[in-house]
Structure 1
Amino acid sequence: MSHTANKDALAQGTHHLIIDGIEQYYHVMGEGPVCIVHSGGPGVRWDYLRMPLIEAFLKLIYLEPIGTGASGRLADPRGYTLARYTRHVDALIDHLAVGTVYFLGHSHGGFVGLRYALDHLQRLSGLILYDTSPTTGPEFGQSIEEALQRFAARHSIRPEVPKLLAAVRRVFAAEAQAAATDEDATRELQQIFPVYFADYWGREREFAPLRESVWAWSDPLRGQEPEPYDVRGELGRIAARTLVLAGQEDAICVPSWAQVLHAGLPVSQLVVLPHSGHFGHLEEPHAFASAVRNFVS
């Protein structure tokens, strides 16, 4: 593998390449060591994860994961698996020709990061796991339910909360079917959006534009893994330096899962943002950036 960086592929702006016949788009922003950024969902548009403060010291490569944005679609939606996502990450790193990279994965992007670290550890300078979990089994679902009850208690004066929580439970129910259309997936995400924040209504003027503009695609939600996602038993194999970031009030990937990651990973740091939900890069951007800067330096 060449370690002479592909300067054209790393120029600021929007790029694409073909991986196994599928278009993969990505955006280069910032200066410094290269860091691949993988958004969550799966199926949510990448730009909710823009991190301008991080771009001051890292060259961020924001992926548009396949099935979203301008990137290509799979003929069979069942093919949106962690193996497919990690294949695209690996091919992109080959294309960039930079040797090792940092990887920042948010939520479902953290699932991709963990799988990538297990399969391609030698390609990572460091791993940043942001509001994510090592499993999505029954315990994960129970942790969401308990977090929703705490969310309801914190926001008991809001009359819309019962309807909001009913929508969240419907979206996250194990037996739920993926939204029929992209418009349906987007409408569901916008409806439950306040749950992703520690205090959405206290900063509604700031966050409402994102709620109105966020977009989701339905096909990635139909991806089928060959077995349930659970890497807790494999964490000890990930020797990469790892930063585990979590929001104390996250109702989606509760901070107890960050504790599990921190305990299981051989070389890890844990930072819990006390006033954040699932979007600490928006709710506490300076504390978030400081944690990442300290880690990469």
Structure 2
Amino acid sequence: MNASPEPTPRQSPAEDRESPLSPGTHTVAVRHGSSLVEQRYHVAGTGPVCVAHSGGPGIGWDYLRMPLLEKDLTMVYIEPVGTGASGRLPDPREYNLATYTHFLHAVIEHLALPEIALLGHSHGGFVAQRYALDHPEHVASLILYDTSPVTGEGFWSVAVANMERFARRHVAEHPEVATYVAGLTARLDQLGDDGATAVLRSISPAYFFDYWGREDEFGPAREMLRMYAEPSSGEGPPFDVRGELAGVSAPTLVLVGDADFICGPHWARMIHDEIPGARLAVLDETGHLGHVENPEGFATAVATFLASVNGSTE
């Protein structure tokens, strides 16, 4: 895939006067075709800068908040276009990997730093892989969290099979899981934002190793999940960077939950095996949301990795 055109970020006069890394919410206007589209991002924490891209496509950024990392890092959370208060694209078919990479580049250019640490979760990991290949000069270190180097029919058939096994294990005690496979394969773009959010929240226990054993703890995180339907109607080829990942030059951590049904260890090891010198960390008894289910283990893995690259994110 060719690199996307260079973005032309602009900001309001008030934003001109404030640092792009001051705590809080920021908005950058990004040229996309003949339009300017607002891209929001959120800054929290202190220390070296780590830019984090959430999953989806179309899931709101809020679920990816990582308070433990914010103790030692300045976290920059991307609010992807098509979600939250970020702008909407003129043509919904344009929500594709090239577009997300283009908008991520606009934010990173706006931060005006020589290099950053880049963290991508799930679909955000697809964006991070593509970005690290297209813009290696900006990526000091790369954290690929519960993601895959490929999608398409094979990827989804594995996810559906894993969800079917999950449903068989739990249907006796939780009859609602009988609907989970249908939820996973639903056409969310036809449901509207509220309908898509309801589906995501309904199947979200499958994204944990032991949701019902810790429901009081994880219930608030489940209610934080928000799905925006329009981005799921995007068009583009299935994601596949196998054969390209040998070109990733940044030190890379591949981080995965051992019980992640959708982007689990099989896909993590595939990334790990292709990126030169990549490190693999597997979180035990952890699903797709390790920063929620196993926050200490998650934060320790990230902090240990970043410390080992000798402060190259600073």
Q: Does the pair score TM above 0.5?
A: yes
Match of 1:12 among 23, 39, 48: 23
Name the aligned partner's letter for residue 90 of structure 2. Answer: A
Tell me the distance in 2 between the aligned counterparts of 1:203 and 1:22.
Answer: 40
Deviations 1:149-197 (A, max 9, x none): 44235435423254233334433xxxx4633311111111111111111
* DSSP-derived class of the 1:133 partner: coil
Name the aligned partner's letter for residue 210 of structure 1. Answer: A
> Is it true that 1:141 corresponds to 2:175 in the alignment?
no
Residue 182 of structure 1 corresponds to 193
Tell me the distance in 2 between the aligned counterparts of 1:166 and 1:95.
Answer: 41
Tell me the distance in 1 between the aligned counterparts of 2:154 and 2:224.
Answer: 32
Map 1:6-85 onto structure 2 (within 5 A): 8-20=19-31, 21-85=36-100
User: Do the aligned partners of 1:66 and 1:72 also contact (CA within 8 Å) in 2?
Assistant: yes
Residue 240 of structure 1 corresponds to 250
* Offset at residue 273 of structure 1 (A): 0.6
Residue 174 of structure 2 corresponds to 159
What TM-score do you get using the length of structure 2 for normalisation?
A: 0.87
* DSSP-derived class of the 1:232 partner: coil
Deviations 1:124-146 (A, max 9, x none): 01110000001112221122133
Tell me the distance in 2 between the aligned counterparts of 1:61 and 1:181.
Answer: 28
Name the aligned partner's letter for residue 205 of structure 1. Answer: D
Tell me the distance in 2 between the aligned counterparts of 1:96 and 1:177.
Answer: 33
Map 1:92-241 onto structure 2 (within 5 A): 92-152=107-167, 154-155=169-170, 157-160=172-175, 162-171=177-186, 176=187, 178-225=189-236, 227-241=237-251
* DSSP-derived class of the 1:243 partner: strand
Match of 1:91 among 106, 111, 126: 106
Name the aligned partner's letter for residue 246 of structure 2. Answer: G
User: Do the aligned partners of 1:239 and 1:267 also contact (CA within 8 Å) in 2?
Assistant: no
Residue 3 of structure 1 corresponds to none
Tell me the distance in 2 between the aligned counterparts of 1:36 and 1:169.
Answer: 28
User: Do the aligned partners of 2:188 and 2:196 also contact (CA within 8 Å) in 1?
Assistant: no
Tell me the distance in 1 between the aligned counterparts of 2:173 and 2:50.
Answer: 39
* DSSP-derived class of the 1:103 partner: strand
Structure 1 residue runs without a partner (length 5+): 1-5
User: Do the aligned partners of 1:143 and 1:254 also contact (CA within 8 Å) in 2?
Assistant: no
> Is it true that 1:277 corresponds to 2:287 in the alignment?
yes
* DSSP-derived class of the 1:244 partner: strand
Residue 252 of structure 1 corresponds to 262
> Is it true that 1:296 corresponds to 2:306 in the alignment?
yes
Deviations 1:203-238 (A, max 9, x none): 11111122233211111101111x221111111111
Tell me the distance in 2 between the aligned counterparts of 1:79 and 1:72.
Answer: 13
* DSSP-derived class of the 1:53 partner: helix
Tell me the distance in 2 between the aligned counterparts of 1:158 and 1:231.
Answer: 40
* DSSP-derived class of the 2:262 partner: coil
Tell me the distance in 1 between the aligned counterparts of 2:50 and 2:174.
Answer: 42
Tell me the distance in 1 between the aligned counterparts of 2:177 and 2:21.
Answer: 47
Identity %: 49
Structure 2 residue runs without a partner (length 5+): 1-16, 308-314
User: Do the aligned partners of 1:43 and 1:217 also contact (CA within 8 Å) in 2?
Assistant: yes
Tell me the distance in 2 between the aligned counterparts of 1:177 and 1:281.
Answer: 25
